Amino acid sequence: MQQDHADVTAREVKESAGGSVSLTTCSTDSQRKLDGSVTFARFAEKHRRLLNTFIRQNPGLLEKSLSMMLKVPRLIDFDNKRAYFRSRIRQQHEQHLSGPLRISVRRAYVLEDSYNQLRMRPSLDLKGRLNVQFQGEEGIDAGGLTREWYQLLSRVIFDKGALLFTTVGSNATFQPNPNSVYQTEHLSYFKFVGRVVAKALFDGQLLDVYFTRSFYKHILGVKVTYHDIEAVDPDYYKNLKWMLENDVSDIPDLTFSMDADEEKHILYEKTEVTDYELKPGGRNIRVTEETKHEYVDLVADHILTNAIRPQINSFLDGFTELVPRELISIFNDKELELLISGLPEIDLDDLKANTEYTGYTAASSVVQWFWEVVKGFNKEDMARLLQFVTGTSKVPLEGFKALQGISGPQRFQIHKAYGAPERLPSAHTCFNQLDLPEYTTKEQLQERLLLAIHEASEGFGFG
């Protein structure tokens, strides 16, 4: 992997210099830089806690002597990333001393009025301080009206009647609606929504909006995988997983295409659909043992990306006007949710009262240790636990008794996980289910649980 990286860099340098630079010298320099990066990454991994403590005490270190850590952002704690992000945004504010961004909207038409007044404004104008007036109402915007505008606008944008976004899975998370084409100027609206979400981040305003895991990945420029399908369609995910784990040689009609019924399912209520080739000539190319991984990757990309690619691209056009891709990409998908929506207030007693057990009881020592460990969590770790088990940090308005799963109401579940006792906890987000091994000590449970909620990004599912 290192050699490939060095060769690519060498080729780029050679081309930019018109071929006069020695490829060997260039390759050696690149290799030396790469080796230095790897050495630093190992050092940072070993001293992660200490380095994050230094950054917490002196946030400017990430822009100076510890800037190398930005190349391995997974080693930076979320609160330090958030502080760095806000510092960079402040610098943008100071560099572009724009006048105030004034808008005047009618409550009943908050989406239309906001769209018409903001969509044509230059991106530089959007960096100015937002000043909102609701028509027909007295009041000077000292911050409260702006907060209310964000709340009202996000509620309307994500209302199903607007046709822009649709809920999937447990109906708690949103992604672009493939049928937004029925909304006039729909791609212009998506660019506007991208601007609004970025403006909220720019202004430090929180939005009560939760996207699908795959849509956060699209914002970050991270490739989606078949694991992301689990939250959208667990049965389809299980079929793909079965294919990867079993011999598919005996399935004669499996080709690199999606039939019309599958397409209809992917595109929701669209009626006139045909089959879809995953690659040129795909309906005539059989899937074999050798090509099944390629097939699964193409299916995941089609389901989670291709069907809504124009909407994603338009959203990103608006978003990146205010928040550069390289700045937002220091976060992972779960952290991006916390950045946009904030750390939730989680009532642990309510969660505990609405938890069901399988293989354990409320009196089991592992269960009691679990609740003791979780009681000691800070707000960030509580949010990460909720993300790990349910797929989102969103807390239902009516409390955890109203938690939804893929098929309707579904309480928080703790199931006994069988197998090696040292394995990590795993989760099935579509069922709000935590599979918890029978650890031998409370300390082991704490160490394994924290590792799972912080490090496990995918591959934890139907095991």
Residues labelled catalytic: 430
Residue at 250: amino acid letter: D
Determine the longest span between alpha carbons in the chain, in angstroms. Answer: 74
Structure tokens at 36: 């230095």
In which residue are the tokens 């669209």 written?
270
Selection from 180, 272, 168 nearest residue 212 by Cα:
168
CA distance 80 to 48: 12
Task: Read off the amino acid at residue 13.
Answer: V
Residue 364 neighbours by CB under 8 Å, 6+ apart: 357
Q: Where do the DSSP E strands lie in 44-134?
A: 101-105, 130-134
Q: Are 372 and 410 in contact (CB under 8 A)?
A: no
**Bridge partners for 133 per DSSP:** 104
Q: What are the angstrom distances between the C-alpha of 196 and each of 14, 72, 151?
A: 42, 29, 11
Contact call for residues 302 and 308 (beta carbons, < 8 A): no
Q: Say which DSSP state 429 is in.
A: G
Exposure letters 362-380 (e unless 16+ CB within 10 A, then b): eebebbebbeebbeebeeb
Q: What is the residue-wise DSSP string for 263-321?
A: HHHHTTT------EESSTTGGGSB--TTTHHHHHHHHHHHHHTGGGHHHHHHHHHHHTT
Angle between helices 309-319 and 186-203 (to 10 degrees): 40
DSSP string, 12-53: HHHHHTTT-S-HHHHHHHHHHHHHHHHHHHHHHHHTHHHHHH
